[in-house]
Amino acid sequence: MALNHDPGLTTRASRVMARCDRLAACTEESGGITRSYGSAALVEAMVLVEGWMREAGIETRRDAVGNLLGRLPGPDPEAAALVLGSHLDSVRDAGRYDGPLGVLVALDAVAQVALSGRRQPVALEVAAFADEEGLRFHTAYLGSSGYVGSLDRALLELVDASSVSLRDACLAIGGDPETLSAGTPPPTALEGYVEVHIEQGPALERLGAPLAVVSAIAGQSRVGGTFTGEAGHAGTVPMDERHDALLGAAELALAAEALASAVPGLIATVGELDVFPGASNVIPGAVRFSLDVRAPDDRTRQTAVKTLHRRARAIAAQRGLDLSWQVVQGNPAVPMDATLSSRLEAAVDAVGFAVHHLPSGAGHDAVVLAQVCPVAMLFVRCTGGISHNPAEAVLAEDVAAALAVLDRFLAAPAEEGSRRERTTAT
Ligand code: GLV
Ligand code: MN
Ligand code: MN
C-alpha cells in the first residue's frame, strides 16, 4: 500500500537522505565510509548532528562515553524520557544508512514535535550512540552500555591495533572515562527505547513491504583468537614440515560454515584475519582471527561456540599450532517489549501499511537498552537486503513511511494524555 501523498513527508525524507549523504563524507579512510569509536571522523559526524539538533530547538549534551544526546524536555525535569535513536559509528567500508538513518529519522520526528509546540507527557531524547559496531575494540555496544551504566570499566584498558587505549579513544570523542562507571544509571528514568533501522536483509523486499515491526534480536557471541605456528621461507620449507597458521584459521572458517549450515537458525562468520608477518614469500607464522556466532536460541549459540572451540583445538593439535581463544562478548537473544511494540504496530496500521513482524539477525543498541527499559524496533526495507557494504540503499518513500509511523507513534501518547486531561476537567 502506498503512503497517502504528503508533500511535507517527502521533503522531510529528502532531508534525512541528504543528511545521510553528508554524514557519509565523515570517514577516516578515503574512498569509503569508516567511522570507528574515538576517530576524528566520528567527532565530525557528531558535531554535524549536534548542529541539526540545535537548529531544531533540541537541547544537546554528551555523556561520559561520548554519546551525543538531544532532549526535548517533558512537563517537569523529573519526567521519564522516551529515547529514540541509533548509532553513528560504522563498520569498515560501510554503507551510509546502518545507524545514521535511525538517528536522523528520530531527530526529524522529534523536531516535528518541537515545531508543533505540542505538550508531551514524557521527555523525548534523541540518542546518537558513539559505538555499536565494535570495529575498533572488537566489543560491540560501548555507546549504549555507557548510556545505561553497564559498561565494565576494565574495558577502558582495551587497546586497538595501534595500541591506543579505549580510555584515550573515549577522551578523543569528548567523553570522560573517569566518570564512566558501571552502575551509573541514565540521568532520568527511561520510559522506553524505539529504534528505526534498515532491515539489513532481504525479507521486506520479498514481502513487497516498506516496514516491519521487529519481534526479537538474535543472541551474539564474539570470539577473538590466534593460531601461532612457525614463519618460514615459502620457497624452501617442504609442505609436510610446515606449521602454517593461516591454514589453521582457514580450516576453522570452513568448520564454522559447515556447522552453521547444518544447525537450523545458526549463523557463524570468520570476518577478520590478520596474517603475520604478512608477506607473499613467508609462511604465515601467526594469524589473529575473529569469529561471530549468532542464533535466536541462546543454547544453540553457546553450544556452537563450545563445538567450534573444540574443533579449533583439534585443528591446532593436528597442524602443530598453538591456539589462544577468548570469548570477548556474549549477548543473549532479546525479545522486543510487547506493549511498546503494539504501539508501534498501531502506528504502522494507522498510517495505512500492513503490519509485518521480522526477527533481527543483526545486533542493535536496543539489545543494551533492554537491560533498563522496554524496547521496540521498526525495520525499513533496504535494496537487495544489502548492508555492511557501500552499496547499502533505501528508497526515499520508505524513509517517508518510517517518518509517518514515528510521527503517529509520538502523537498517540499525547492524544491519550489530552483525552485524559479532558476527562479530568469534566
Ligand atoms: C551490527 O551491525 C551487528 O549485528 O554486528
Ligand atoms: Mn551494523
Ligand atoms: Mn546498526
Domain match, 90 and 204 both = yes
CA distance 218 to 221: 10
Domain match, 33 and 172 both = yes
CA distance 83 to 63: 14
> Does some domain include residue 278?
yes
Task: With beta carbons less than 8 A apart as the criterion, state whether 90 and 133 touch.
Answer: yes
CA-to-CA dists, residue 274 to 92, 109, 270, 356, 378, angstroms: 15, 43, 11, 41, 36
What is the predicted pLDDT for the residue at 24? 98
Instruction: State which H helix or E strand residue 81 sits in.
Output: strand 81-87
CA distance 380 to 198: 5
Quote the cell numbers at residue 54.
540545535
285 lines ligand 1 (CB under 6 A): no
What is the predicted pLDDT for the residue at 331? 94
363 lines ligand 1 (CB under 6 A): yes
Which of the residue ranges 149-158, 273-282, 378-387 would you say has the lowest mean pLDDT? 149-158
For 391-415, give the DSSP string.
T----HHHHHHHHHHHHHHHHHHHH
Domain match, 14 and 70 both = yes
Q: Which ligand is nearest to the CA of 389?
A: 2
Closest CA to 378 of 254, 244, 242, 193: 193
Question: Which atom of ligand 1 lies nearest, measured to the CA of 294?
Answer: 4
> Does some domain include residue 1?
no
Which residues neighbour ligand 2 (ion) by CB within 5 Å? 98
Domain match, 261 and 299 both = yes
Number of domains in the chain: 2
Q: Which pLDDT band, with edges at 50, 70 and 90, does 118 fall under? A: confident
Q: Which pLDDT band, with edges at 50, 70 and 90, does 7 fall under? A: confident
> Does some domain include residue 45?
yes
Using most ligand atoms within 8 A of CB, pick from 88, 93, 133 the residue to mutate for ligand 1: 133
Domain match, 67 and 168 both = yes
Give me the mean pLDDT over the 93-100 stretch: 98
Check which CATH number belongs to the domain holding 261 and give it: 3.30.70.360
234 lines ligand 1 (CB under 6 A): no
Give me the mean pLDDT over the 397-418 stretch: 84
What is the predicted pLDDT for the residue at 163? 96
Q: Which pLDDT band, with edges at 50, 70 and 90, does 417 fall under? A: very low
> Does some domain include residue 223?
yes
Domain match, 27 and 172 both = yes
Q: Helix, strand, coil proportions of the chain in percent (round to 5)? A: 40, 20, 40
Closest CA to 88 of 78, 96, 76: 96
199 lines ligand 1 (CB under 6 A): no
Task: With beta carbons less than 8 A apart as the criterion, state whether 33 and 21 touch.
Answer: no
Q: Which pLDDT band, with edges at 50, 70 and 90, does 422 fall under? A: very low
What is the predicted pLDDT for the residue at 120? 85
Which residues touch 30 (CB under 8 Å, ≥6 apart)? none
133 lines ligand 1 (CB under 6 A): yes
Q: Which of 331, 347, 370 is the last residue of a domain?
A: 331
What is the predicted pLDDT for the residue at 415? 52
Domain match, 272 and 337 both = no
134 lines ligand 1 (CB under 6 A): no
The string of pLDDT tens digits covering residues 193-235 is 999 999 999 999 999 999 999 999 999 999 999 999 999 999 9
95 lines ligand 1 (CB under 6 A): no
362 lines ligand 1 (CB under 6 A): yes
Using most ligand atoms within 8 A of CB, pick from 37, 131, 132, 222 the residue to mutate for ligand 1: 132
What is the maximal distance between C-alpha atoms in the chain? 94
Question: Which atom of ligand 1 lies nearest, measured to the CA of 91?
Answer: 2
Give the structural domain span for 109. 7-217+333-425
Domain match, 316 and 348 both = no
Give me the mean pLDDT over the 73-81 stretch: 85
> Does some domain include residue 255?
yes
Give me the mean pLDDT over the 11-30 stretch: 98
The string of pLDDT tens digits covering residues 267-322 is 999 999 999 999 999 999 999 999 999 999 999 999 999 999 999 999 999 999 99
What is the predicted pLDDT for the residue at 423? 39
Q: Which pLDDT band, with edges at 50, 70 and 90, does 186 fall under? A: low
Domain match, 181 and 98 both = yes
Check which CATH number belongs to the domain holding 201 and give it: 3.40.630.10
290 lines ligand 1 (CB under 6 A): no
By residue count, the chain amounts to 426
Q: Which pLDDT band, with edges at 50, 70 and 90, does 76 fall under? A: confident
CA distance 382 to 136: 26
What is the predicted pLDDT for the residue at 397? 97
> Does some domain include residue 156?
yes
Domain match, 117 and 187 both = yes
Domain match, 242 and 122 both = no
Q: Which of 331, 357, 388 is the last residue of a domain?
A: 331
190-198/211-217 β-pairing: unpaired
327 lines ligand 1 (CB under 6 A): no
What is the predicted pLDDT for the residue at 426? 30
Asked if pLDDT for residue 106 goes beyond 80, the answer is: yes
Closest CA to 34 of 77, 86, 94, 78: 94
What is the predicted pLDDT for the residue at 424? 35
Q: What percent of the chain has pLDDT over 90?
A: 88
Question: Which atom of ligand 1 lies nearest, measured to the CA of 387?
Answer: 2
Which of the residue ranges 36-45, 69-78, 331-340, 381-390 would you say has the lowest mean pLDDT? 69-78
Asked if pLDDT for residue 14 goes beyond 80, the answer is: yes
> Does some domain include residue 345?
yes
CA atoms within 13 A on the CB side of 406: 38
What is the predicted pLDDT for the residue at 121? 86
Closest CA to 68 of 124, 20, 126: 126
Question: From the CA of 223, how far away is ligand 2's center (Å)?
Answer: 17
